[in-house]
Structure 1
Amino acid sequence: MTGGLVLRLRPHEKFLVNGVVIENGARRTRLRVKTQDAHILRIREALHPEEADTPSKRLYYIAQLAVSGDAEGADTIESLVSGLESLRVAFGEQICAAELEQAVELAKAGEFYRVMRALSRIMPIEEALLNGVPAGSEDNENEQQQ
């Protein structure tokens, strides 16, 4: 059995498939999704709208809407690319420049889940900067490792 997305689920883990919430049973499970254009999102990776309170979290939320199938099309890509480029300018060349460039390319390609993953690595750095911890400081590095 080859091809398709493989989901490894924890006991009782919930996930969204094409707008329907599904819950795993009492055991760990592995599923293979064969349909190429299925919209799948693990609930544990979902960000609630009220939690999207920073620029990177707002971009994560836009990508999440695309992953779940609640937003699609060129407008979503344009919003993500524009927001990611603005974030890159705000951060400057020293902070997350490569990660943000990669996220822009992923957004242009419609790889919204991978955009979410890239942003999830950027969010703790942004949080530290917003809290006054300079980039590259020991506190910031400790947060990234957690």
Structure 2
Amino acid sequence: MLRINLRDGEQVVVNGAVLRACGRTALWLENEAAVLRGREVMKPEEANTPARRLYFACMMAYLDPAGRDSHQEAILILLGDLINAVRALHARMACATFARLVAEHDYYRALAECRTLIDHEAKLLGGDGAPAAQAH
């Protein structure tokens, strides 16, 4: 069982459906579901760097089980490109952990690991990251 507390106006995605709280709301999920808070959701136009594209593909695999095979293929290609590009040990370790989590179909935890890569990438590029990059 999972309890999610939402502030007034906060969004949550449950199995692909976007829900918005009206007033302070507590939701109890009593079975397994794909759940992302609004700040964890990345819009397609925000997937504009290698790590962000990887996050978006993983998010889609998590939220769209029917299309998971095509998302998995995209993840493998994007991850391969990212592994070849990163040099920092902690970023390479994050790639390895991400790969393990995706192989285990633990997409939610893989998204958290990918946020580490987005943060690393933002520091290298001198940016401050998008909302999904800062959700922890």
| TM-score normalised according to structure 1 size | 0.73
Report sequence identity in percent: 30
The answer to whether the 8 Å contact 1:6/1:30 transfers is yes
Give the aligned partner of residue 141 of structure 1: none
Give the aligned partner of residue 36 of structure 2: 41
Query: Amino acid of the residue matched to residue 21 of structure 1?
Result: V
Task: Tell me, yes or no, if structure 1 residue 101 matches structure 2 residue 96.
Answer: yes
Measure the CA separation in 2 of the matches of 1:6 and 1:100. Answer: 30
Judging changes above 3 Å, is the alpha-carbon distance between structure 1 residues 128 and 93 closer, same or farther for their aligned structure 2 residues?
closer
* Structure 1 unaligned spans of 5+: 133-143
Larger % of helix: which?
2
Judging changes above 3 Å, is the alpha-carbon distance between structure 1 residues 71 and 80 closer, same or farther for their aligned structure 2 residues?
farther
Judging changes above 3 Å, is the alpha-carbon distance between structure 1 residues 107 and 19 closer, same or farther for their aligned structure 2 residues?
same
Query: Map of 1:33-112 to 2, 5 A cutoff?
Result: 33-36=29-32, 38-69=33-64, 72-92=67-87, 94-112=89-107
How many equivalent pairs are there?
128
| Aligned alpha-carbon RMSD (Å) | 2.4
* 2:21 alignment partner, one of 15, 20, 24: 24
Measure the CA separation in 2 of the matches of 1:7 and 1:66. Answer: 22
Point out which structure has higher relative CO (alpha carbons under 8 A, 6+ apart): 2
* Structure 2 unaligned spans of 5+: 128-133
